[in-house]
Structure 1
Amino acid sequence: MSNIAPTNPNQGSLAGSFYMVLACLCFALMLVFIKLSGQKFGMHTYEITFWRVFFALIVLGGFSWLKGRDFRTAYPKEHFWRSFAGSVALLMNFYVVLHLPLATASTLQNTSAIFLGLLSIIILKQKPTLVSWVSLILGFIGVVILLKPSAEGDAFAMMLGLLSGAISGYAYLQVLELSLLGEPAWRIVFYFSLLSTLIAGALALFFNFTPITPEILPYIIGIGLTALGGQLLMTYAYQVGQKFVVATLSYLGVVFAILFGAVIFGERLDYLSLLGIGVIVASGILSGKK
């Protein structure tokens, strides 16, 4: 019997699926903490974003320093544009979470997979397969369906959510390019957290921070812990799990968002909205099929 581990990227531990389910639960809980922070304490987008990335910056930076990792990079410009795009997308996404149902906000963020595919064709000149074209077309049909029933709602938040997905797709493209240049994942996340903390912190100072009280503190900690836990669990899921299965399970975040939105906030989506969400999720799953 051979002791050599399998190298096929489609082979992996079932534990990867479990980790992804937990990651989705963490990210959905993060959305809950964000929405509650806005509703209960009037916290605005900038300070919520600041606490989310500041927590990650301290934990990741401190751990990397203790491990003796090298923070220097030969690609500062590439890191800046990736981090700037990610920061703008995050600010937009958190605004959307505060102004739209959780399921709608989560789905619009997941359109990043659609835009990543489109940008890969335009910028990287990748030759799309038939599956890629079907996925892109399905995705944009889903977006049109999802936007239409919300015409009487917060149209600005809907469009901002879609723009957030597009910018996130560009940021993920930059992550891919940095990875190909040999930059480790921890350094990419560290510089993103650093620039996001500076941008969100400056904006929060301008618009004034909400005073930290014992009542607010659990929500701030909850945002930071669930965001960091979700990121770590998702990373580990992709490392040890079967790639397509893990990517498919990542859309459980939308399901959790629907459930939490209904139970905690009393949110109800009509059938047309649910159809749009379903089509977008199907598009994302299809885009992960190689």
Structure 2
Amino acid sequence: MWTPNVNTFFQIFLKNFKTRKTDDFSATRNSLCVTIEAVRKFTTKRRKTSVLSKKSKAIGFIIMSAFGFAMMAAFIRLAGDLPFTQKTFFRNLVAVAVAAVVLCREKVGFKWEKGNLPLLIIRATCGTLGIFCNYYAIDHLVLADANILNKMSPFFAIIFSLILLKERASVFQYAAVLAAFGSSMLIIKPGFSSATFPAIIGLLGGMGAGAAYTCVRALSRKGEKSARIVFFFSMFSTLVCVPFMITDYHPMTWGQFFCLIGAGASAALGQFGVTLAYANAPAKEISVFDYTQVIFSAVLGFFLFGQLPDGWSVLGYLLICGISVAVFFYNRNLERKGQ
């Protein structure tokens, strides 16, 4: 948060004092009052601008995250028929390396902040279970079904934020998230097959992701570095996959190997994006922008798999973009009004 320095204060003071025609004590007192009021207005304006800028960055990060995860899904699909634990291993192995490089470059230690270990473990556990469930659902459900179930994560993030962080959302924000969810259904048009167990697993994957995002925000509030959160989660998830790799490893072609490396790099981009996003703003204000992943997936599907969107899908794209813009201006107006 920005605070005025001594030079700023006295510059405003001298400017107001020199405009007075008298130099008695009354003039000095009046000039001082005017100066204090001017500094107060100036700092208030800077504070609001700073908050708005932070929220705008969070929106940019969540969109970057959506693109990264859309790329990850495309690479996972291109990798073919491999165990979901093997895909998870390579997904997070690359993220471990990227996070380690970032930590070293920023000269941030690998040791977590005091008292944050329980939250880091919860975040890593929820995130790992979320990935397992999502990949299992992708392997056993129609892809559209698995995607829509995973897109329940913003709902769970808002619910967990309300319970754990006491972050309340307005009626408009709840309605925007619901509208975005409904719009995404126009695009992916789930069939909801009778495979009940995989569907429940997919829903649990969305819950795990929502809980993980809430933990990210809680950790950021407690001063934990974003790169350290990503590193801890990625390392935890990679180590969990090692026993499965030993007992159920499937040989890969070079093409599959590079697809999984690409999935890992894209996942690292997505993970850093979502970590930075929820560190800069609460879930209720940015989670709706996560639905841009559907748009990115549609574009990638067209270029990589020759999938053409129909009229309902195009309508869904337009609705999601419109909702995102509406939420952005709604939040900006709230900040300008000082609410």
Common fold, TM-score beyond 0.5? yes
Distance 1:279 1:108, change over 3 A: farther
Q: 1:23-172 maps to which residues of 2 (within 5 A)?
A: 23-37=65-79, 39=80, 42-65=81-104, 67-73=106-112, 74=114, 75-100=116-141, 104-135=145-176, 138=179, 149-152=190-193, 154-172=195-213
Which one-letter code corresponds to 1:219 in the other structure?
Answer: C
User: Matched residues, percent identical?
Assistant: 27
TM (norm. structure 2) is 0.65
Unaligned runs of 5+ in 2: 1-41, 332-339
Q: 3-state SS of the aligned residue for 1:92?
A: helix
Kept after mapping to 1: 8 A contact 2:95/2:268: yes
Which one-letter code corresponds to 2:135 in the other structure?
Answer: F
More helix by share: 2
- What is the CA–CA distance in structure 2 between the aligned matches of 1:173 and 1:163, rounded to whole Å? 15
Which one-letter code corresponds to 2:294 in the other structure?
Answer: V
CA displacement, residues 60-112 of structure 1 (integer Å, 9 cap, x when unaligned): 22442465422122222221111111111011122334445655544433321
Q: Is the deviation greater in 160-169 or in 12-21?
A: 12-21
The root-mean-square deviation of aligned C-alpha atoms, in Å, is 4.5
- What is the CA–CA distance in structure 2 between the aligned matches of 1:233 and 1:263, rounded to whole Å? 24
CA displacement, residues 8-60 of structure 1 (integer Å, 9 cap, x when unaligned): 333479999887666544322211110121x3xx2110000000101111222
- What is the CA–CA distance in structure 2 between the aligned matches of 1:122 and 1:13, rounded to whole Å? 22
Q: 3-state SS of the aligned residue for 2:50?
A: coil
Bigger relative contact order, structure 1 or 2 (CA pairs below 8 A, ≥6 apart): 1
Shift of 1:258: 2.6
- What is the CA–CA distance in structure 1 between the aligned matches of 2:62 and 2:195, rounded to whole Å? 31
Unaligned runs of 5+ in 1: none
Q: 3-state SS of the aligned residue for 2:76?
A: helix
Matched, 1:221 2:271: no
- What is the CA–CA distance in structure 1 between the aligned matches of 2:57 and 2:185, rounded to whole Å? 36
Distance 1:259 1:127, change over 3 A: closer
Residue of structure 2 aligned with 1:8, choices 45, 50, 65: 50
Kept after mapping to 2: 8 A contact 1:119/1:169: yes
Match of 1:256 in 2: 296
Residue of structure 1 aligned with 2:220, choices 179, 189, 207: 179
Distance 1:153 1:64, change over 3 A: same
